[in-house]
Every structure is written in structure tokens, then in C-alpha cells.
Homo-oligomer: A and B are copies of this chain.
Amino acid sequence: MKKLINNPEDVVKEALQGMAEAYPELIRVDVENQLVVRKEAPVQGKVGIVSGGGSGHEPMHGGFVGKGMLDAACAGQVFTSPVPDQMYTAAKDVNGGKGVLFIVKNYTGDVMNFDLAAEMAQAEDIQVQSVVIDDDVAVQDSLYTAGRRGVGGTVLAEKICGAAAERGDSLDDVANLCRRVNENVRSMGMALTPATVPAAGKPSFELGPNEVEIGIGIHGEPGRRRMELQSADDITEMLAEPILDDLPFKNGDRVLAFVNSMGGTPYLELYIVFNKLHEILKGRGISIARSLVGPYITSLEMQGVSITLLRMDDEMEMLWDAPVYTPALKWKA
């Protein structure tokens, strides 16, 4: 295992400590509880937004904490759900009297632990709602999931709901908006190479020297199929078409097109995928209203790409454009 780490068991805490030192103006970090919290939290009169999940998907979620996005992120060990106490502590930390929204990626451990934390918070009269994101069209059930997995759509939901909370929307309204984002977003990913969890010390799966996996999960869970490497154009079609046909996206729709690096993919390759995606969308009469290209929901050093498409409406566009100031996503105010 070739990684820039010290002890595998200290990876998450040391990385959180490093984040705290890099962004003191944006966040504070509770290293003991593995929480990244917006510096000025709790913001009175604003719905608090909490997300979280296993580490190894950075910048998700800690990198999205700050003005206009998340109020707190709970970091589990690598590829391992955080525990209910973390989410419960986060809910208390960010509750500004208007309640707390949990945005949860659909993995069994995450869903169960966020549910327990919601009960704990509600027992102390903190209003909590949870919305589960399940945007991955690749597989129905999978290794860690009943139903579809939550992937890139989560980034978009967190940005859009963060903006709605910032303008003062109620908990019901922010939760409903989050559900609306989830209903209109679809994703699918692929891998060229596996990733190695530091505590495991070896890759979580194997791929042959010319083999790729289509429909991979962000923990390396099996996808739809393995095959020989094909051209970027062909692979982009294999990802885009199931996404487009699933919702389905239609002629006249406008979308946010998100091409995500699984961690180790050069920008050159992401832009080549974006170029083909643009052509496919144009061919179906779908316009790209907004875009996001880069490593935002990763799987450690995995090489590969995922595509996420969100059907936008006027309100989502306005909220997407609203100011955001976090370590990983910054927009002009």
C-alpha cells in the first residue's frame, strides 16, 4: 500500500486536523467526535443541514461545510458509516431553533444511524427531518444498500438545500426541496482502477490490466458489468444512456451536468467525457444549464468517472447560483 499516511488508524483524525488548520475562517473541527462544523454554527433562525458518511469520499462531506451549504458533516472511518452519537451531536451543534435536516446517502448503515440520531435529537425537542438520496441507476440493491445507492446527486442536493436554508426556508420546505432534487437527479459511475482502504492495506477489488467496471459504487461495490476498456466516447454513452432513460430526461429539459472524478482521474479525461456528454444531450434536445466538473465525491485514489444529471427548474437554478463558501465549493457572492 503506497499512501501518504502515518498510522492507518489515525488517517481520519489527522486529515480532519489538517482541514481545521487549512480553513479556520470557514469551519471548526471536533476531532474527537469527527465532526466538521460551520464556524458560525448554530445560525439562529436558519434550518441546520447535517450530512455525513464514511470517509474516503473527500471533499464530500466535510469540504461542503460553510455558508450556503452544510452546517455540519459527520465523518466515519474510511468507507464506514459514522455512529448515531456523531449525528446527534452535530444536530445539537447546528440547531438554530428552526430544526435540522439530515441529508443521507442511501447505504444501510448511514440510514439506520441517521434514523437513530434523529430519534435522539427529537427526544430533546430538536425538530429533525431526514431525506435519503438514492440517485445511482446502476443497480437496484447492492453490497451495502437496499434500493439504489446515493452518489453524486448528494452534492447537488447539499448545495441547493444549503442555499434554501440560507434564505430562511422552513424545515418542511427545505426537506421537500431535497426530495424534489432527489426525484430529478440520476447518476452512474465506472472505474478504471480500484482503491485501497488504508486499514485494509490492499485494493478492495481487482481489475485486469485492460478491464473496467461499469456501474461501480463509491466503495468499489460491484456494478453492472466488467468489460475491456473502450473509448471515452463509448463509455460516456454507457453511463449517460441509462441515466437519461431512467428518469426519463426529455427533449426540452435543461440539466445540471456533473462529471465527477472518482479521485485519480485527470481533468483532461473529465473534459473529454464532458465533451461527449454535451453531444449526447444535444442529440436528445436537452440543454446544459449549469455544469460541475472535478473530484467532488470520490473513492480515495480510484480512477474512473461518474456522471450525474439533474433536471433543473427555475428555483433550483437560482439556488445553485446562490453564494456558497466552503473549502471545496466557492461561488461569488
Residues of A at the B interface (CB closer than 8 Å) are 2-6, 11-12, 14-19, 21-23, 55-56, 58-59, 63, 78, 192-193, 209-210, 212, 229, 231-233, 235, 257, 259, 263-275, 278, 288, 291, 293-295, 298, 300-301, 303, 305, 323, 325, 327-328, 330-333
CB contacts (< 8 Å) of A5 on chain B: these are 231-232, 268-269, 272
CB contacts (< 8 Å) of A229 on chain B: these are 2
Instruction: Check B278–A6 contact: CB distance below 8 A.
Output: no
Instruction: Check B333–A330 contact: CB distance below 8 A.
Output: no
Instruction: Check A271–B18 contact: CB distance below 8 A.
Output: yes
**Who on chain B is nearest to A264 by CB?**
B264
CB contacts (< 8 Å) of A273 on chain B: these are 4, 18
Nearest chain B CB to A52 CB, angstrom units: 15
Instruction: Say whether, besides A192-B4, A330-B332, A15 and B275 are in contact (CB < 8 Å).
Output: yes
Instruction: Check B272–A303 contact: CB distance below 8 A.
Output: no
Instruction: Check A59–B267 contact: CB distance below 8 A.
Output: yes
Q: A148 vs B241: C-alpha distance in the bound complex, in angstroms?
A: 48
**Who on chain B is nearest to A282 by CB?**
B21
* Cβ 8 A contact of A4, one of B6, B209, B272, B325: B272
CB contacts (< 8 Å) of A14 on chain B: these are 232, 271-272, 275
Instruction: Check B2–A301 contact: CB distance below 8 A.
Output: no
CB contacts (< 8 Å) of A294 on chain B: these are 328
CB contacts (< 8 Å) of A16 on chain B: these are 271
CB contacts (< 8 Å) of A209 on chain B: these are 2
Instruction: Check A303–B271 contact: CB distance below 8 A.
Output: no
Instruction: Check B2–A267 contact: CB distance below 8 A.
Output: no
Instruction: Check A63–B22 contact: CB distance below 8 A.
Output: no
Instruction: Check A275–B18 contact: CB distance below 8 A.
Output: yes
Instruction: Check B18–A272 contact: CB distance below 8 A.
Output: yes
Instruction: Say whether, besides A6-B272, A331-B330, A333-B333, A266 and B18 are in contact (CB < 8 Å).
Output: no
